[in-house]
Amino acid sequence: MSDFAVADGRGSVITAESIVATVFVAVAAVGVTASPWLLVAGMAGHGAKDLWQHRTSYVANTRWWPPFCVTVDWVAAIIMAVAISAAANFT
């Protein structure tokens, strides 16, 4: 859950962000044991969620954070995709 969601203070935002966080943790847990491509999808999906959050101003007082997080998430997803495609051994 985002500290920003808690700082926003609306129960609906806290609930929504908690659910979203739970989904991303579940995707990561499955990705670690199943396919690393799920980790790439999870990072890219989190970036897309942050982009949506920035464009809609869903969580109050987050002007700079979502664009920063989108960039980090998508760069990490690209790096992981390149590593997986290059048949990197993650063990």
Rounded average pLDDT per 10-residue block, the chain, 91 residues: 66 82 90 92 91 76 81 95 82 56
Q: How far is CA 50 from the centre of its chain?
A: 7
Q: Residue 37: inside a domain, yes or no?
A: yes
Q: Residue 90: inside a domain, yes or no?
A: no
Q: Residue 10: inside a domain, yes or no?
A: yes
Q: Residue 91: inside a domain, yes or no?
A: no
User: What number of other Cβ atoms are within 10 A of residue 53's Cβ?
Assistant: 21
Predicted pLDDT of residue 7: 72
Virtual torsion, Cα 83, 78, 47, 39, nearest 10 deg: -20
Predicted pLDDT of residue 1: 46
Q: Residue 49: inside a domain, yes or no?
A: yes
Contact criterion met (CB below 8 Å) for 12 and 60: no
pTM for this model (two decimals): 0.76
- Residue range of the domain that includes 31: 3-85
The count of domains in the chain is 1
